Amino acid sequence: MSEAVLGIIGGSGIYDLPGLTDIREERIESPWGEPSDALRIGRIGSTKIVFLPRHGRGHALSPSDINYRANIDVLKRAGVTDLVSLSACGSYKAELYPGLFVLVDQFVDRTSRRESSFFGKGCVAHVSVAHPVGPGLQNRLAEAAEAEELPFVRGGTLVTMEGPQFSTYAESMTYRGLGYDLIGMTAMPEAKLAREAEITYATVAMVTDYDCWHELHGAVDVASVVAVLHENADKARRLVARLAADFPAEREPCPAGSHNALDNAIITAPAFRDPALLAKLDAVAGRVLKSA
Ligand SMILES: CSC[C@H]1O[C@H](OP(=O)(O)O)[C@H](O)[C@@H]1O
Ligand SMILES: Nc1ncnc2[nH]cnc12
């Protein structure tokens, strides 16, 4: 296996990652377009860290405007093997209260206007996202949260809506009735694309609100989300610092198959592959295309 490189995607309210040493900023070009921002590359202890603010510094990008493919592509080009997404989320369960961190393990994709695959005409591939979160990476997050005595639970289903408006009451009640735990606007297609790029992925859902279903809470608004996030920023930093400090030097194989997701995924026969698309796939699928 290769050197482990830990990527961190900062969501709403997390536009920087203090505590990195040997820090430099790098703007990596992507054939998939513009990523959200320059990468900030540094170290925590001996672990290489690559940080990307999902909405860009200053939060200029709405969830629908984020170029998820370019983001994952530049993280792959920077060598990221394991990726932690920090995400502000609404809760559908009374016991998942604002301030709690949820290490989610499942996603439901309700987005509608996003490019959700690197593959397509001229190079068709089907990867499994049955288990989209890397269990090993999630274990490490749980150990880090325990060591830092942060309030967290393990497991949960996060539905991703298109937004940017928050849900209607009827939508909120429907998702709650379906048994989903959390709602956000960004985990999909990010998690799917990470799997296509053979990057191990895990989400830390930081509960910020009860959306609009809870009779004792009003409708969610940005100000209350940001207020909770500010209270949580220090906890998120401590979680990442501890995770990085205890991270292995070498990439670990992922029991969910993140490290070799493309092994049998490409179905287009070599003679029928589009050279232009193959060129764009150099980083994401280079491992399997080089050996084809
Ligand atoms: C600021 S509230 C809505 C906004 O917050 C979440 O962003 P992220 O997942 O990047 O933390 C949510 O998905 C929406 O984009
Ligand atoms: N209630 C909510 N719905 C969608 N995205 C969110 N992000 C934070 N809270 C949210």
- pLDDT tens-digit profile of 113-125? 999 999 999 999 9
According to CATH, the topology of domain 5-289 is Rossmann fold (3.40.50)
For residue 198, give Cα distances in angstroms to 37, 81, 187, 254, 286.
Answer: 22, 8, 16, 10, 11
Q: Is the pLDDT assigned to residue 285 strictly greater than 70?
A: yes
The angle at the Cα of 162, spanning 105 to 70, to the nearest 5 degrees, equals: 75
Give the atom of ligand 1 at the shortest distance from the alpha carbon of 9. 10
Tell me the pLDDT band of 292, cut-offs 50, 70 and 90.
low
210 is in an annotated binding site: yes
Nearest atom, ligand 1, residue 62 CA: 15
User: pLDDT, tens digit, for every residue of 169-218?
Assistant: 999 999 999 999 999 999 999 999 999 999 999 999 999 999 999 877 88
Residue 166 DSSP code: P
**Mean pLDDT for the chain?**
96
290 pLDDT tier (thresholds 50, 70, 90) = confident
With a 6 A CB cut-off, is 88 part of the ligand 2 pocket?
A: yes
Backbone φ/ψ region at 163: left (φ over 0), alpha (ψ -120 to 50), beta? left
The ipTM assigned to this model is 0.99
To the question of whether residue 88 is assigned a binding role by annotation, the answer is yes
Q: Residue 1: pLDDT above 80?
A: no
188 lines ligand 1 (CB under 6 A): no
Q: What percent of the chain has pLDDT over 70?
A: 99
Say if pTM beats, i.e. exceeds, 0.90: yes
Confidence check: pLDDT of 143 > 90: yes
Query: Confidence band (pLDDT; 50, 70, 90) for 219?
Result: confident
How far is it, in rounded angstroms, from Cα 257 to Cα 264? 11
Catalytic residue among 65, 181, 211, 282: 211
